[in-house]
Every structure is written in structure tokens, then in C-alpha cells.
Structure 1
Amino acid sequence: MLVACGDLLGLLQHPGGLQGSIHQERAGFNPKFKKYWAGRCQAASSLSAHRSTGHRSWEAISDPRDFPNMPALLPGTSRLREKLWHRHSDGKENPLRRTSPRCSPGLSRHLTLQPSPCLSFPSSSTVPTPSDSDPRALRIPIPCLILLTPCLLSCRRHKLYREELNLTSPATLLPLRPEASWLQFHLGISRDGLYPRSSPAVSRLLRDMRDFSTVSADYSQDEKALLGACDCSQIVKPSGVHLKLVLRFQDFGKAMFKPMRQKREEETPEDFFYFVDFQRHNAEIAAFHLDRILDFRRVPPTVGRLINVTKEILEVTKNEVLQSVFFVSPASNVCFFAKCPYMCKTEYAVCGNPHLLEGSLSAFLPSLNLAPRLSIPNPWIRSYSFDGKEEWEVNPLYCDTVKEIYPYSSGNRLLNIIDMAIFDFLIGNMDRHHYEMFTKFGDDGFLLHLDNARGFGRHSHDETSILAPLTQCCIIKRMTWLRLQLLAEPEYRLSDVMRESLLQDPLAPVLTEPHLLALDRRLQLILGAVRKCIDTYGEARVVANDTMPPGAPTSDRAKLST
């Protein structure tokens, strides 16, 4: 059976249910939101029941014009409203419209919940969710996941899943299994991080991304919505260098695929600007392992995999644009390149050997409709020009200005920025122009460490300017400080721990030995910078509790550069 409307509305009113953004949480539950989804729920359940009667509209639905300010929670919501209200060819209003904005009482008498034509949910299935008393849980109810995610209800995509599992009967329904590893990963997101310290779901997710067959290849709708308007017909990211694809698996999970562009032993040329550097698949893999070792848990689970570009991309994609960029090289290797306004030539292609291609697979976060995220400019953003400089690069007291601006003036946002700077310095990533965070957890939620593919480019160079937030503000979380000191001990040396962790990946060795040794060298530079701050201001002012940054004086911090 499908989940009833009352169950959905109860979840919407639940303190852990979907309430959109920080502002909606502060304002409380919106009754219009409840009324809107009451109509949507009954309409969806009655669609198949009325399809046979010849009606050309969804009768059991609230008048969409009763909610003129309703946010577009779904792609194509405006088109849906048009279908719900104006469906007759003569342009007249639906004659079955009732004066009440609620579902039609006349039709409700004989409405029964019908199985979705594309998806069923087992009645005996229960999904373990975090405790109701735990305010830190993200909580993504399964009914909302089904109703709010159109891709799961796509009949075309459902057909692909049936074919993958050899379910030839057109009446066979493929259930969304609550034990799916990607779903358990989503349910485990909390205020503390993307996953708990000991999470069996993450181990299963890494294994599934490594082993499951792909059923489609596409471009990320979530990423387009997050970054703003774009050409929605594009299948690959509009850049020849930054080629990324979204691969979907037989369990409804999906992952971001980044192909190998640079060999492990190759270093980024020193004349390259950071904003034109290659994106490295092994950097994404290594960044996930380092993030977990540092106990940040802010990088989505990432695993390496050998992809057959012919069988697992070309043959499963339905998009003609992506199909058109495949070709066979003179060496008889299957290659493809990005379809984009610039750098879209065969010399920028990625090629299999002849069909197999290394790449990284990063697990997707929950949809933006279910778990909204903010993309915020980094206060220490770099100048993306050949000769310009940002204020922080010329003003050693820049942190004073940042600390006067909300939310860096209170809470732990500034401490999280410094954690991110430490992480980026260790991997050598200079391209952190924005950071993202879940709106559900408020202003003090953790920062997501996404897009780490420009790390691990030069093992012979340490870019100390990445540490500017630490050296200019002279504060650090106590837990971060203790963890860094532990990883400097001989028995827990960072390079040794990373080497052992990376051996679990199918593409091991992920990093060359010089990159591993560079981690130890950079860790000593971080510890040295913190000790300079402690010598100047004292440990009580520099080493902060994780939730309250200290108000250390900053008048003479110009001398604390590394």
C-alpha cells in the first residue's frame, strides 16, 4: 500500500518533518503547506482510479490559485498547476471545481488509494529513523521522499530498473527498499556530520557504488538548481576540463562520476593557475578518507571504480547530446568529451582502455527539495583573475573585519571555516570559493566539504596562504587541535593512517608516496602556526570550545604568518 494522506500530513507537522529553511523553522508550520499537500496527496492517489472514466483533469485537488505564494517545491510545478486547473481545450475552467479549497467531498466517498503506476512501498516495511527526541536529526520521511522526488515516479526510469533486474512483466512493481544503503546514509545525516563515526551504512554504500550496475547516465538537476540558471539540456558540466556525470544504480541510488584526467605520478605544472587546474578523481577519493580520519565527516562517501564507458554510460543514457560526444580514437579506445561552449574538442576527451576508465563515484546528498542547502561565498575567497588580489591577501588584520559580520561574530561558523582551511591546506586545494551547509541545522550547522578534485596536485609545494583563516584569526577548535596532535605522534602518523585507509579502495594505490609524505610535512606547519598563536595569546584564548570562538585580540597578528 501507499502511505495515506493523513500519515503524510502528520509527518509534515512533525518537528522533524520538512519545513524548508531556517526562516520556515523560526516561523513555525505553515498551514497552507499542509492544505496544499492534502490536495496533492489525494490527487495522486486518485489519478489511476479516474483515468479510466475519461476525465481530463485531476478532480480531487485544491484550487492552485488558493495558494499564489506557494514555493515551487517541484520542478515543473507551474506546469502542474496549469494541468490541475485548465485541462479543457476550450480554455474554460474545470466544471468539477468545488467552492471549497479542500478535496472534493463528492469524489472522496469512492476514492481508494491506488498503487502508483511506477512505484510501490511495502506495507510491512519500516524505516529506522533517529529518535523523535533527537533534535539534531535531519529526518527525511519516506512518504515525502516518494512524493517530492519526481525521478522516482518516472515510468521511463522505472522501466530501466525493471529491465536491469529482468522484471519483464509490465505489471511488476519495483519497491523502494528501506534498507537501501543510500537511503540509510541520508537518514543518518545529523547536526554532527554526514554520518556517525561508526556507520555500517557508509561501508555498504561504498560497496554498492563499487559493484552495482548502472541503469542511466545523466546530469545533476540538484547541482543546476543550487548554482542557478543554466541550460537544462546539458548532460555534462559545461566545461571540457571538468567533465562530470550522474550515474544511477539499480537500487534507485545515484552518484557523481568524475573520470581520470591526470595520472597519479603527474604533478600540476607550477605555472598553472588554480582555477584552470585539472580535476583529479583520486583527489576526491583521498579527500573522503582524510576527512574521515580528521573526524570531520563532511565529505560525501566516495569510492574508486573502473567504469566500462560503453556499457555503463553510452548504452544506458537516453540523451542524444551525450551519445553524440562518444567516438573511437586512433588507438581504438572509446572516448567522450563535454558538450559545452568552450574547450569542447576531442583533445580534451577522456578515453577508456579500450573501454575501461578509472573514476571516482561520490554519493549524492538528499535532494534540495528534501534537504535545502545554502551556497555561501567563502570570506577568504581568492581572486579569480590573473593579477588581482583580495583584501585578505594584503590585509593581515582582515579577520577583525570578518568577526564583525554575522554569522562569523558568534557561534561556531568561524571555527568551521578554520577547520575547512586546515583540511584544504592538507590536500593543497586553493579552489574553495564557496561552502555549503544544510539550512535545517541553522547557522551553526557543519560545512560541507564538496568538490575536492583540485587537491593533491603538487606534493612538492605547500601553499601556506590557504591557512590564512587560522593565522589571521588565531583560533582553533579544541577537538581539531587534539586530533592534529594525535596524528603527529609516531604511532599514529597521518601518512601511515592514510596509506592504510586508502588500501581499502578498489583503485589502490590512490596516492603516490610523495603525496602521503607531504601530509606529514603540512601537518607540522599547521601545528607550528597554532603554537605561535598560543605563545602570543595563551592557550585559553586560542584553543576554543567547539561552540564558542574566543575573543582573542587581533591587533598585532600581522607577525603570525607562516
Structure 2
Amino acid sequence: TKAAFFSPSVMHRSPPSGAGGDRLRAWQVGEQICSAPSTEGFHPAPIPITPCSFPSRRHKLYRQELNLTAAAALLPLRPEASWLQFHLGISRDGLYPRSSPAVGRLLQDMHDFATVSADYSQDEKALLGACDCSQIVKPSGVHLKLVLRFQDFGKAMFKPMRQKREEETPEDFFYFVDFQRHNAEIAAFHLDRILDFRRVPPTVGRLINITKEILEVTRNEVLQSVFFISPASNVCFFAKCPYMCKTEYAVCGNPHLLEGSLSAFLPSLNLAPRLSIPNPWIRSYSFDGKEEWEVNPLYCDTVREIYPYSSGNRLLNIVDMAIFDFLIGNMDRHHYEMFTKFGDDGFLLHLDNARGFGRHSHDEISILAPLSQCCVIKRTTLLHLQLLAEPEYQLSAVMRESLLQDPLAPVLTEPHLLALDRRLQLILKAVRKCIDLHGEAKVVANDTRQPEA
């Protein structure tokens, strides 16, 4: 099913993207390459026991007995490295071309290559110490994520497994305290590619040995200090302030192995600047507040008067993003990012999708507000959705087959796959309603930017 869906004879039914378009080649290959810190003679410092650490004798003995070694040997840096080829393939049409051998190699390399360093993300580093751990009540430590560097100099964002696949998000959970799911990141990449958006960075599942591939290679003493041994003799670690300072919110291996997602890094902001822009349909991040779009059915009229939503593709791209988020059930799209090089009509990056696929039994129709309130959709997007609604190319079947390629398959449970078909029908129903009200000519829009040949 998947092979047939991606064949040229089928994909031509959805107008193709340009062969290349403007590339994101704002740098020279030599400038992109940064030397990884030398690991020669590296011996981690003793791990201090902090109030947030697990202060047990067992933990101390474990740390003393660890035979910490230098990181895996770095490979020679080659211009054909998959992560570098991925970066060079970014164009105004998407993060990668439809047929990109670099993406397949990148997924394989992120799964296979040894890690040479592990650290907190820059956002987390900036916030360390900005809160009082004793004041944290809610388990907001679900944001646990790490930056891993591989022996080929590539980097990926690691999000560990926090929730079993068959578990649903409790219905009383607010979206802003929901778990971040590693399998949601993996599934979102596959869905984004099937929808022909190509706006999610390549993401793959991997079974990580958190002792050898994180603890033994990190130079960050704060990260070292949050590892401990559980009563079940499993190796665990937890997020430091400002997220969570309690061992009950830790993630644990079995005893060392832990599932997680690895999402490829985008080019450095210094080399390929990006803008982070508030979503016009942002939700209220309070327990009782509502945003204007939630109470004003004419809200889109206001948005259409504001630059850059008053012309070009920006509003159409927002609708694309809403359709994607509705399919995965993501209510947490408070901002979106764009590469500055591609201007106002550049594509929107679909980053941070770990809060998707939380509830297969519920369809959050409010996520479709940009579509239902603005009543506009790209012709290419609509044609692709209609194709995926046909029995021979059913979205759930194409996703099921695509996800079998991931090392952690099965990535989604069957109810989540079937929910995709149900939600797709709801999207098409919303489009038909708009066409009935306004006519196809006003609802179905052509891209204002034509792809380059």
C-alpha cells in the first residue's frame, strides 16, 4: 500500500513540489562543520549528591563502581555525512525532497551510530536554577529531553519513553501538562511525510543504553547528578529544575535500556536563522481562560486584516498546520517557526509533536478552527487528503506500513491508526461545509508561490 501510494503514477495526482526551489545554502560546507570536544584524557568529575539526587548508599556505590570510559572514537568528518546532506537539501518546498536518499541514511545513522556526548538542550540550560524545586507541585517534568551527539558529528534531540503505547491521556489532563510521548514524535514524522508536507525533521526510534550512551559520555555534572538506581535495580534519571526535581517523575531503563525518539537537528540558528512566531490560534495556558478565537466565530476576519495573513500563503500554511495537528490530536501548537531565508511565504516547521496521539477515542474539533473559521484550504492539500480517503490508499493503511520501518515498531496502537481515518473524514466534511457556504472558488486556493521546475 505504501509503495503504491508513493509511486509516481499516484503522486502525480497531487501536483508535485518543485525539483529543488531555493536551497537553504546560506553557508559553506566548511562553515557548517564544528569540531566535537576532544574526549582524549577525559575523566568525569565525581558526582556531587544534591538535594534533588537520590541520596542512597546504593547510588553512591553504583557511581563508584562504574567504569567510565572515553566516548566512542569520532569518525572522520565527510561532506557526504547524512546529517550534512539533509541540511543541504532543505529548500523553500520543504525540509527534504520527496525522494531523498539522505533522509533514509540519516534515520539509519541516528539509530546505529554511537553517541559521543549527551547534554541538556540550550533552552533547559538557560532555565536551570530559575525555580525552587520545593515549590513544584504538578508533574511538569514530562518535558525531559536531551541533546545527543553522534560519532559522525550529527546531533539529535532525544525524548525518552514516558507513557506506554496502549495508555491514553487522562481526560481530566490539561493539554499543557500532558505527557510528551516519544512514539508521537516518530509517528508525526511519518504522517507529515505521507501528507507531503515534509515539515517535520527526520525522526527515528532507538533503544538507548542510558548508562553507556548518556551517563558515560556526558560532561554535564548536573546531568550526571540526576542518575540513580531504583529499588527495582533499574538505572533512572530525572529532569533538573525548572521541570521536576523528584525521583518519582524519573524515567528508568530496564535495567539500562530505554526507548526514545531521536529527531535530527536543523542547521544552527547562526547559519540558517529562524523566526518563532505566536500562533494566531494559540490556546489559553491557564485553567479558566479563553482566547478570542474560542468565543468569536468571526475571529478569522480580524486575522485576515493583519500582515502577513492578509496575503500570500501564510494563512494557508496555518490551515495546513491545523489539519496536521488535528490528525495527531495536538492541542499544544502555541508557536510556529520559519526559516528567514525563504521569506513570508516559506513553509512552517512542524516541530515538537510529542503531545500528539494522546487520545484515540476523542477528536478535538477545536484544533480545526483555522479551517472552519477561515474556510480556505490549499488545492494541493485537499487533493492529497482526498487521495488518502480512497479505499486503496487509506491513510491508516499507509501509516501502518510506513511505521513498520521504524526500529521500535509497532509505533502506534491500532485504535490510533483507525482514528486517523475518522479524523480525515471530519476534515473533508468541514471542507464540504465551507464549499456549500462560500463556493469552491473561494474555499479551494492555489499556492501563491509556484514551485520552481
TM tier, smaller: 0.7 to 0.9
Name the CA distance, whole Å, in 1 between partners of 2:440 and 2:41: 61
Name the CA distance, whole Å, in 2 between partners of 1:363 and 1:343: 25
Large movers: runs of 4+ above 2 Å: 152-160, 162-167, 229-234
The alpha carbon displacement at 1:135 in A equals 6.0
2:35 counterpart residue number: 153
2:11 counterpart residue number: none
Equivalent of residue 321 in structure 1, options 222, 225, 228: 222
Q: Which runs of 5+ in 2 are unaligned?
A: 1-18, 43-68, 132-138
1:531 counterpart residue number: 432
Equivalent of residue 288 in structure 2, options 348, 365, 387: 387
The alpha carbon displacement at 1:531 in A equals 0.4
Contact 2:207 2:258 in 1 (8 A): yes
1:255 counterpart residue number: 156
- Larger Rg, first or second structure (1 or 2): 1
Amino acid of the structure 2 residue aligned with 1:145: Q
Contact 2:179 2:355 in 1 (8 A): yes
State the TM-score, normalizing by the size of structure 1: 0.68
Equivalent of residue 144 in structure 1, options 31, 34, 51: 31
The alpha carbon displacement at 1:230 in A equals 3.8
Name the CA distance, whole Å, in 1 between partners of 2:263 and 2:253: 20
Contact 2:127 2:241 in 1 (8 A): no
Going from structure 1 to structure 2, the CA distance change for 1:166 and 1:196 (only over 3 Å counts) comes to closer
The alpha carbon displacement at 1:343 in A equals 2.8
Contact 2:130 2:242 in 1 (8 A): no
Name the CA distance, whole Å, in 2 between partners of 1:220 and 1:275: 20
1:508 and 2:409 equivalent?
A: yes
Name the CA distance, whole Å, in 2 between partners of 1:429 and 1:137: 30
Per-residue Cα deviation, 1:378-400 (whole angstroms, up to 9, x for no partner)? 00000011111000000000000
The alpha carbon displacement at 1:538 in A equals 1.1
Equivalent of residue 166 in structure 2, options 238, 253, 265: 265
Name the CA distance, whole Å, in 1 between partners of 2:434 and 2:322: 16
2:257 counterpart residue number: 356
Name the CA distance, whole Å, in 2 between partners of 1:429 and 1:529: 18
**3-state SS of paired residue (1:270):** coil
Going from structure 1 to structure 2, the CA distance change for 1:230 and 1:165 (only over 3 Å counts) comes to closer
Contact 2:83 2:154 in 1 (8 A): yes
Contact 1:283 1:453 in 2 (8 A): yes
Amino acid of the structure 1 residue aligned with 2:230: S
The alpha carbon displacement at 1:144 in A equals 2.2
Going from structure 1 to structure 2, the CA distance change for 1:157 and 1:477 (only over 3 Å counts) comes to farther
The alpha carbon displacement at 1:164 in A equals 5.0
1:41 counterpart residue number: none
The alpha carbon displacement at 1:219 in A equals 2.1
Q: Which runs of 5+ in 1 are unaligned?
A: 1-132, 147-151, 168-173, 549-562
Name the CA distance, whole Å, in 1 between partners of 2:20 and 2:422: 40
Going from structure 1 to structure 2, the CA distance change for 1:383 and 1:521 (only over 3 Å counts) comes to same
Name the CA distance, whole Å, in 2 between partners of 1:429 and 1:184: 30
Contact 1:300 1:365 in 2 (8 A): yes
User: 5 Å matches for 1:219-368?
Assistant: 219-221=120-122, 223=123, 230-231=127-128, 240-368=141-269
The alpha carbon displacement at 1:220 in A equals 2.5
**3-state SS of paired residue (2:319):** helix
Going from structure 1 to structure 2, the CA distance change for 1:166 and 1:465 (only over 3 Å counts) comes to closer
Amino acid of the structure 2 residue aligned with 1:156: S
Amino acid of the structure 1 residue aligned with 2:35: L
2:15 counterpart residue number: none
Going from structure 1 to structure 2, the CA distance change for 1:342 and 1:436 (only over 3 Å counts) comes to closer
Name the CA distance, whole Å, in 1 between partners of 2:174 and 2:441: 39
* Greater mean alpha carbon deviation, residues 530-539 or residues 391-400: 530-539
The alpha carbon displacement at 1:175 in A equals 3.8
Name the CA distance, whole Å, in 1 between partners of 2:246 and 2:364: 32
2:3 counterpart residue number: none
2:347 counterpart residue number: 446
Amino acid of the structure 1 residue aligned with 2:295: V
Equivalent of residue 96 in structure 2, options 180, 195, 200: 195
Name the CA distance, whole Å, in 2 between partners of 1:437 and 1:268: 30
Going from structure 1 to structure 2, the CA distance change for 1:537 and 1:365 (only over 3 Å counts) comes to same
Name the CA distance, whole Å, in 1 between partners of 2:141 and 2:181: 14
Going from structure 1 to structure 2, the CA distance change for 1:472 and 1:327 (only over 3 Å counts) comes to same
Per-residue Cα deviation, 1:155-181 (whole angstroms, up to 9, x for no partner)? 535888x965658xxxxxx64210100
The alpha carbon displacement at 1:324 in A equals 0.7
Amino acid of the structure 2 residue aligned with 1:263: K
Equivalent of residue 470 in structure 1, options 362, 371, 394: 371
User: 5 Å matches for 1:63-74?
Assistant: none
Name the CA distance, whole Å, in 2 between partners of 1:134 and 1:336: 43
Name the CA distance, whole Å, in 2 between partners of 1:302 and 1:342: 24
Per-residue Cα deviation, 1:343-389 (whole angstroms, up to 9, x for no partner)? 31010000000110000000000000000000000000000111110
* Greater mean alpha carbon deviation, residues 340-349 or residues 487-496: 340-349
Contact 1:488 1:523 in 2 (8 A): yes
Q: Identity rate of aligned residues, in percent?
A: 86
Name the CA distance, whole Å, in 2 between partners of 1:211 and 1:422: 33
Contact 2:121 2:145 in 1 (8 A): no
Going from structure 1 to structure 2, the CA distance change for 1:155 and 1:534 (only over 3 Å counts) comes to closer
Name the CA distance, whole Å, in 1 between partners of 2:73 and 2:77: 17
Contact 1:239 1:340 in 2 (8 A): no
Name the CA distance, whole Å, in 2 between partners of 1:437 and 1:166: 35
Name the CA distance, whole Å, in 1 between partners of 2:41 and 2:98: 37
How many residues of Structure 1 are paired with residues of Structure 2 in the alignment?
398
User: 5 Å matches for 1:7-18?
Assistant: none
Contact 1:239 1:338 in 2 (8 A): no
Amino acid of the structure 1 residue aligned with 2:78: R
State the TM-score, normalizing by the size of structure 2: 0.84
Going from structure 1 to structure 2, the CA distance change for 1:325 and 1:212 (only over 3 Å counts) comes to same
Work out which structure has the larger RCO, using CA pairs closer than 8 Å and 6 or more positions apart in sequence: 2
User: 5 Å matches for 1:417-456?
Assistant: 417-456=318-357
Amino acid of the structure 1 residue aligned with 2:29: I
**3-state SS of paired residue (2:261):** strand
Name the CA distance, whole Å, in 2 between partners of 1:468 and 1:522: 14
1:481 and 2:382 equivalent?
A: yes
The alpha carbon displacement at 1:280 in A equals 0.3
Name the CA distance, whole Å, in 1 between partners of 2:372 and 2:130: 45
The alpha carbon displacement at 1:413 in A equals 0.2
1:546 and 2:435 equivalent?
A: no
Contact 1:239 1:344 in 2 (8 A): no
* Greater mean alpha carbon deviation, residues 531-540 or residues 355-364: 531-540
